[in-house]
Amino acid sequence: MIEPERGFAIDDAAYRWGTTPGDMPHNGPRPISTDYLHLDVACRTVMGFQAAGVTLSAPASDRPMMNVAYALAPPPAGRDGPAYWTDGLRQRFGQPDQQAGQDGHGGFNVAYWAIWSRPTIDIGLSIHGDVRRSTVGRSAGLLCVRWRDTAAAAAPYVAQWRMATAALIQSAVTLAAFRRFDMPRALAPAGDPLDPYPASFEDWRALNRRTLLGTPASIGERLSAGSFALWQSGVDGIWALSTTWDTVVLRSTSRVCWTELRPAKGGGQSGLSADGLSIVMPYGTKAIAAAAAALKALPGLKVAAVQDDDV
């Protein structure tokens, strides 16, 4: 049995942290994706409990698994209640660092949850109010192990990210075009707003958003926290979109979207996204529409447009 600080197990097979979806054995074709993906895998047992299956989550098919969520099978007859799982977990990991329980039945309710925190991992238990049907089978709850050592996870990929950023700096030495768009409120560097353990600038991008490069100083000094720019290199002719922190190089394969959500139940918003760089502003921000028009004018670049109500 592999300790969760070192990796995760699927029945009798042990995998160290750092294993990617492409490293896993597959009966069918191997997954190929540069987006976050989730793989449902058969699994009968986890930490001494019966399991219905496991979902493995990774930032991409060539990036390591960061979250392993085991669907717990319903307990044996007469063993209802969270204690069936918590007693064994407490013996192994001690008292939870956080826990809460509530009365309530129904598959959409959570009757109990607990978290055991370690320096590099979190172990989370969530018991449903009733048995749920999941993608891997009937589930009474989830036992999740999250690897949060982002520095270790990103280490094999940081050098390549740095090389791409260095090449971008050389591209920005001279400019053939530069257009700045000022926003009504400040932007922020890309990152996971829900992550209580923020990673370094380089680590997070190398692991989660390889298309987000560091903005060259020669571009960033022309911007503020409340602006972004569309520019073309005078060296190699590439086009790029930059905030003061993040830059994406625009290619014919780039996924670019202009969104206008009219106020409805929500307040509405105007937004642009390009290969992981997202800019969201209040509805009707004219500079967003102007930037979208400038992007549409670039040869070979496709810009999807979405107009809808903010419901």
Q: Are residues 185 and 306 in the same domain?
A: yes
Is 14 in contact with 33 (CB distance < 8 Å)? no
Is 169 in contact with 216 (CB distance < 8 Å)? yes
Q: Are residues 11 and 52 in the same domain?
A: yes
Q: Cβ–Cβ contacts within 10 Å for residue 179, how many? A: 12
In a domain, 77, yes or no: yes
Phi, psi (deg, nearest 5) at residue 82: -60, -25
Which of 148, 174, 190 is a domain's end point? 148
Residue 93, pLDDT score: 95
In a domain, 25, yes or no: yes
184-205 confidence digits (pLDDT tens): 999 999 988 778 778 999 999 9
Q: Are residues 139 and 200 in the same domain?
A: no
Q: Are residues 133 and 158 in the same domain?
A: no
Q: Are residues 169 and 91 in the same domain?
A: no
Give 167's DSSP letter.
Answer: H
Is 227 in contact with 183 (CB distance < 8 Å)? yes
In a domain, 33, yes or no: yes
Residue 114, pLDDT score: 96
Give the three-state DSSP class for 115. Answer: strand
Q: Are residues 80 and 118 in the same domain?
A: yes
Give 157's DSSP letter.
Answer: H
Q: Which regions of 164-310 does DSSP assign to beta strands (E)?
A: 175-182, 213-214, 227-233, 239-242, 246-250, 256-263, 269-274, 277-281, 303-310
In a domain, 1, yes or no: no
Residue 214: which of 185, 184, 242, 246 has the closest Cα?
246
Which of 116, 148, 180 is a domain's end point? 148
Q: Are residues 125 and 193 in the same domain?
A: no
In a domain, 209, yes or no: yes
Residue 36 CA to residue 194 CA, distance in Å, equals 15
Q: Are residues 304 and 160 in the same domain?
A: yes
Give 174's DSSP letter.
Answer: S
- Alpha-carbon dihedral sign for residues 134, 138, 143, 145: negative
Residue 171: which of 207, 129, 218 has the closest Cα?
218
Q: Are residues 158 and 260 in the same domain?
A: yes
Residue 129, pLDDT score: 86
- With a cut of 50, which residues of the chain have pLDDT below it? 107
In a domain, 219, yes or no: yes
Which of 132, 148, 164 is a domain's end point? 148
Q: Are residues 138 and 225 in the same domain?
A: no
Cβ burial, residue 50 (10 Å; 0-12/13-18/19+): middle
For every residue of 42-102, DSSP letters joined together read: ---EETTEEEEEEEEEESSTTS---EEEEEEPPPPTT--STHHHHHHHHHHH-S-SEEEE-
Residue 101 CA to residue 278 CA, distance in Å, equals 37
Domain that holds residue 193: 154-310
Task: Write out the two tokens for 220.
Answer: 């960033």
In a domain, 94, yes or no: yes
**Number of structural domains found in the chain:** 2
Residue 166 CA to residue 206 CA, distance in Å, equals 14
Would you state the torsion angle of the CA atoms of residues 38, 42, 47, 48, taken in this order, to the nearest 10 degrees? 160
In a domain, 279, yes or no: yes
Strand partners, 240: 231, 249
- From residue 78, give the alpha-carbon distance in Å to each of 75, 81, 306: 8, 9, 53
Would you state the torsion angle of the CA atoms of residues 170, 174, 177, 178, taken in this order, to the nearest 10 degrees? 80
Residue 103, pLDDT score: 61
Q: Are residues 84 and 200 in the same domain?
A: no
Residue 143, pLDDT score: 97
Q: Are residues 191 and 123 in the same domain?
A: no
